[in-house]
Structures are given as structure tokens and as C-alpha cells.
Amino acid sequence: MEHASLDDFLAREGKALRSGPSLFVFDEDGVELESTLRHHLAIGFRTLLVFGEPRAPLAPDLTARVHRIRHDIHADDAVPQAVNRLIAAAPGVWMAYLYNAEYLFFPFCETRRVGEMLAFHAEERRDAMLTYVIDLYAEDLERHPDAVSRDAAMLDRSGYYALGREDPENGYARKERQIDVYGGLRWRFEEHVPYERRRIDRIGLFRAAPGLTLLGDHRFNVEEYNTYACPWHHNLTAAICSFRTAKALKSNPGPREAIGSFRWQNSVPFDWTSAQLLELGLIEPGQWF
């Protein structure tokens, strides 16, 4: 279904958000949009919204299941503004957001639905889930100059680290149960990435609530939403496996000329399973077995 604007969607079909969990996909360039949508329908998202300028029609089966909303996602704060409108429209609903050519993986997602996972997470009195954005990249950039290949995708098996998050408004004291996470292509090619965009942690799943606001750095105005676990034990975490950084590095003139390959000694083929991410320690099941 096509909508001329977010206002148009909320007026005509806003009630669709209530069925949750809902996913918002921000389509930057159309690359792997259909595979992104199919992956998330398969793991159980009930309502999918795609924001951006439609470049090509979707397959008929997707057209019937996806709301496509015209939206200038390249404008300043376009993503948080849209997400915050949707938060206000559907308090209590579990939501997620990502970009095209990004794929959410959580423990056991091949056999369990996202709704099951979120129900367990909510039982642990959690209203948000930390996700790590794990960079994917094509094995051969000569064959795949845009750095995107689902059939020959690679990821880094190591090179990730976390630092305690500091609070500049409190003498740079460490914030409780919050971390800044780094790694992947943003770490290996940091000279091409602005400092404020190097973090790979994102609160990718959250339950909407009155007054909740997504900020421009993928954090929320409610500090508990930004924590990785509750005070008494570890919780579930998930990963967003993403070609987005690789695409950006190969589309910008400076890094495009400087980078001949993303492969290094710690590159491994991605097998598109949560088991691999669990084995590498990139997601955690917490108490969910």
C-alpha cells in the first residue's frame, strides 16, 4: 500500500501499528530492499513500513503486506522524527527500525518468532533491547563494486570492543549499564568515518511509551532504554547485520579509491544464521534457552 506521507498513513492506516511488533525500514537507495522486507516478514514482524522515495515497484506479494510511505529520509533528523511520530501514535507497541540491506538476527530466530522473543524480554521487565550493528561486505569488490553480495557476504569475527559510556553532564562519570561499542568497518577504516558515527551499538528494538523520544545518535531520552541489561542478570541481545557501512565507504570518492578490499585475516563468510552470531559472541541468549 502506498501513502503520500506519514500523516496520510497515520490518518488512513495508523491502527495497523497496534497489531505489533512493527518494523520501520528507511530505504536509502533501494539496494536489497525486497530481501530486507522478506527476512523480517519471515521472522514475524506483523506491520512493515518503508520510508523513502519509491524507486521501483515491489513484488505483488510484498505490495499487499507493506506500507510504503513517501519520506525524505536524507533530511536532517528525518529518521528520529518519523520514529518519534510513530512512538506517539502507538504507545505500548514493540517497534524496531533499520535501513535497507540490514537484517535483524536474534537468538534462535530460525525457529522462534520475534513476538515470542519480545514476550520473554518483556517478562524480564525490559522495554528495550541492545543490538549491535555487524558490518557485512562482499568478498570481492571487483565483482561487487557496491560492496553488497548476499551470496558472498563476509563479516569480522573479532575486533569488537566496548567502553563504559561517560556522562558529560555528571563529571564524565560512567553511566550505569551503558556502553559504547566499536568494531567492524567503522573501526578498521576509522579515518574515513566521522568520530560521532563510529559506534555500532543501537537500541534497535523498543516498546513505545508516552514521552519516549529517539535521539539522533540511536539512543533514547529515557536512560533505562539505553542499558544493555537489567541490574540482576544478563538479558537477550540481538544483531543487525548490515551492508550500510560498506556501501557508504564504496560510494564516497575518498574511501572508494583508497580501499581495494574489505577482507583481512579475521574475515569469515557469513552463513546467515543466528548460531554463527552466538558462537562469535555477537549476540547473547541471556536466560532464554
Residue length, the chain?
289
Residue 4 sits in the same domain as residue 140: no
Residue 138 sits in the same domain as residue 187: yes
Residue 56 sits in the same domain as residue 150: no
pLDDT recorded at residue 246:
98
Per residue in 11-39, pLDDT (tens digit) is 999 999 998 899 999 999 999 999 999 99
Residue 179 sits in the same domain as residue 251: yes
Dihedral angle sign, alpha carbons of residues 106, 109, 115, 117: negative
Per residue in 151-187, pLDDT (tens digit) is 999 999 999 999 999 998 899 999 999 999 999 999 9
The whole-angstrom separation of Cα 200 and Cα 164 is 14
**Dihedral (Cα; 174, 219, 102, 134), 10-degree rounding:** 0
**Domain finish residue from 51, 79, 100:** 100
Percent of the chain with pLDDT over 90: 91
Q: Is the pLDDT of residue 54 over 90?
A: no
pLDDT recorded at residue 56:
83
Domain that holds residue 131: 107-202+211-289
**Domain finish residue from 42, 71, 100:** 100
Question: From residue 197, how far is each of 18, 223, 245, 260 by CA, in Å?
Answer: 32, 20, 10, 22
Confidence of residue 55 (pLDDT cuts 50, 70, 90): confident
CB 118 within 8 A of CB 46: no
User: What angle in degrees, to the nearest 10, is found between the helix axes of 78-89 and 6-13?
Assistant: 20
Residue 62: which CATH number? 3.40.50
CB 167 within 8 A of CB 174: yes
Cα 50 vs. chain centroid, distance in angstroms?
14
Backbone angles phi and psi of 234, in degrees to 5: -70, 150
Per residue in 192-251, pLDDT (tens digit) is 999 999 999 999 999 999 999 999 999 999 999 999 999 988 999 999 999 999 999 999
Cα angle vertex 80, ends 74, 82, to 5°?
A: 80
- Compute the mean pLDDT over every residue in the chain, rounded to the nearest whole number: 95
Question: From residue 171, how far is each of 166, 168, 174, 175, 224 by CA, in Å?
Answer: 8, 6, 9, 11, 20
Cα angle vertex 215, ends 96, 115, to 5°?
A: 15
Cell of 170: 555528571
Residue 70 sits in the same domain as residue 191: no
Return the SS3 of 77: coil
The whole-angstrom separation of Cα 131 and Cα 241 is 10
8 by Cβ neighbours in 10 Å (0-12 / 13-18 / 19+) ranks as: middle
Residue 164 sits in the same domain as residue 288: yes
Confidence of residue 284 (pLDDT cuts 50, 70, 90): very high
The total number of structural domains in the chain stands at 2
Q: Is the pLDDT of residue 266 over 90?
A: yes
Return the SS3 of 8: helix
Q: Among 107, 113, 108, which Cα is nearest to 237's?
A: 107
pLDDT recorded at residue 25:
98
